[in-house]
Amino acid sequence: MVTFEKVSKTYPGGVMAVKNLNLTIAQGELVVLIGPSGCGKTSSLKMVNRLIEPTSGRIIVSGVDTQKLDPVALRRKIGYVIQDIALFPHRNVAQNIATVPRLKKWDQKKIQERVDELLRLVDMDPALYRGRYPLELSGGQQQRIGVLRALAAEPEVLLMDEPFGALDPITREQLQDELKRLRQKVKKTILFVTHDMDEALKLADRIVLMRDGVIVQVDTPEGLLREPANDFVRNFIGEKRLIRQPDKVLVHEVMRTKPTCIEGDKGLHQGLELMREEAVDSLLIMDRSGDFLGVVEVQTIQQNLEARKSLEAIMTPWPTVNENDSVKRVVRLMVEGNLRFIPVVDETGRIKGIVTRANVVNFVLDYMS
């Protein structure tokens, strides 16, 4: 539907904003261009409708090289939504929406039907809103009208340049949801520019992350979160958004650093009292150097309480992990042994912490939220 073939843009003074861009956007796809300021995302978008002319390369829309089309005629075929909305203040809602259909000399009855159809699409009663002027609308309502104006002449392609960037967070989220719902009904090919990664992840079929005029990575939101191409992508996305596989999460990231420990030469009553104080049902047993020896559980103490034994004498051998092991190893040990926790030790065997099932689950949920 939209194809960039070796497209470059150099501004006066030799500033190269876009460098040899190759990208294809399929019919009905929503592709988000994102990256730091000056990365070339807005220049790339504006070259599609020739608001900016490419220095070299070709942009093909619906099989036609845009350089072979009259720029005005091209723009009437492509919907365009910007952050500043730019509704005509002296025209009412119906007149604003009808801007391009009127330029294309649609029949008045067809224009009115189209205006009413679009207003109903965004749950704005035509009878209430058709005759209102932009100043009588909220910011969110004005932006809705801006989107409807871009859709009015039934364009195949819609360009959206940070359309929700100036809105408050609540309105912004509402319009993002509305755009997702609209896509199910209007099935347009959309090229969307944003600086907001959360917005990109929420809306995009594919995300194009740019830097210094070139594409760094193109992928689905899921693919980008799972497999960032390099440190720049990882840092731009943000560690908290990344989907971390268990083999890439280290034990020290999830462990508790203050497990309940006691020397193995202590008596059973001492062990039971420590359990009461710490509200735990298991103890990590160590020697006087802090090296891990084993585990004693409350039922084992209860079974041996009448005997004069040390904790070391009744402890159970227990698997351990190193603080630099992967969580994948922890999960495997828990499953194989049906264990609720795994002690963490350093290279010398000294106790460093503990990983519980709850620690692992909470870590996963934090990265999903």
Bridge partners of residue 206, in order along the sequence: 31
- pLDDT value of residue 292: 96
The string of DSSP letters for 239-286 reads GGGS---GGGSBHHHH-BS---EEETTSBHHHHHHHHHHHT-SEEEEE
Q: How confident is the model at residue 250 (pLDDT cuts 50, 70, 90)?
A: confident
Residue of 320, 312, 353 lying closest to 337 (CA atoms): 320
Contact 120, 126 (CB under 8 A): yes
Q: Which of 225, 243, 261 is the last residue of a domain?
A: 243
Residues 99 and 148 in one domain: yes
Q: What average pLDDT does range 308-316 have in this prediction?
A: 93
Q: Rounded to 5 degrees, what angle do the CA atoms 15, 19, 24 make?
A: 140
Q: Is the pLDDT of residue 312 over 60?
A: yes
Shared-domain flag, residues 53 and 183: yes
In the listed set 180, 209, 243, which residue is the last one of a domain according to the structure?
Answer: 243
Residue with tokens 């391009």, as numbered in its chain: 100
CATH number at 178 reads: 3.40.50.300
Position 369 pLDDT exceeds 80: no
Whether the predicted pLDDT of 179 surpasses 90: no
Ranking 53-57, 336-340, 341-345 by mean pLDDT, the lowest is 336-340
**Residue from 338, 368, 282, 277 nearest 357 by CA:** 338
Tell me the residue length of the chain.
369
Instruction: Write the pLDDT tens digit of every residue in 217-226.
Output: 999 988 888 8
Alpha-carbon distances of 241 from 30, 36, 237, rounded to whole Å: 21, 17, 7
Domain match, 238 and 145 both: yes
The Cα–Cα gap between 270 and 276 comes to: 10
Please report, for the domain that includes residue 332, its CATH number. 3.10.580.10
Instruction: Based on the fold, state whether residues 160 and 194 are members of the same structural domain.
Output: yes
294, 324: one domain: yes
Q: Are 211 and 146 contained in the same domain?
A: yes
Same domain membership, residue 264 and residue 170: no
Give the pLDDT confidence score for residue 77 in this predicted structure. Answer: 87
Q: With bands split at pLDDT 50, 70 and 90, how would you rate the model's confidence at 365? A: low
pLDDT bracket for residue 315 (50, 70, 90): very high
Pair 215, 34: CB distance under 8 Å: no
Q: Which of 35, 87, 51 is nearest to 43 (CA)?
A: 51
Same domain? 239 vs 302: no
User: Mean pLDDT throughout 78-98?
Assistant: 87
Other Cβ atoms less than 10 A from the Cβ of 4: the count is: 22
285/116 Cα distance (integer angstroms): 75
Best CA proximity match to 228, nearest among 240, 213, 243, 214: 243
Q: Are residues 256 and 237 in the same domain?
A: no
Mark whether 175 and 299 lie in a shared domain. Answer: no
How confident is residue 187, by pLDDT bands cut at 50, 70 and 90?
confident
Owner of token pair 């009437």: 76
Q: Are residues 237 and 256 in the same domain?
A: no
How many structural domains comprise the chain?
2
Q: Which residues are paired to 15 by β-bridges?
A: 11
Residue 234 has pLDDT above 60, yes or no: yes
Q: Quick one: CA dihedral 115, 118, 120, 124, positive or negative?
A: negative
Q: Which H or E element spans position 1?
A: none
Does 296 lie in the same domain as 170?
no
Give SS3 for 40: coil
The amino acid occupying position 99 is: T
Q: Do residues 165 and 41 make contact, with C-beta atoms less than 8 angstroms apart? A: no
Query: What does the longest C-alpha to C-alpha distance in the chain come to?
Result: 100
Task: Give the end of a domain, one of 188, 209, 243.
Answer: 243
Q: Which residues lie closer than 8 Å to 65 by C-beta, 6 or more apart?
A: 58, 59
**157: containing domain:** 2-243
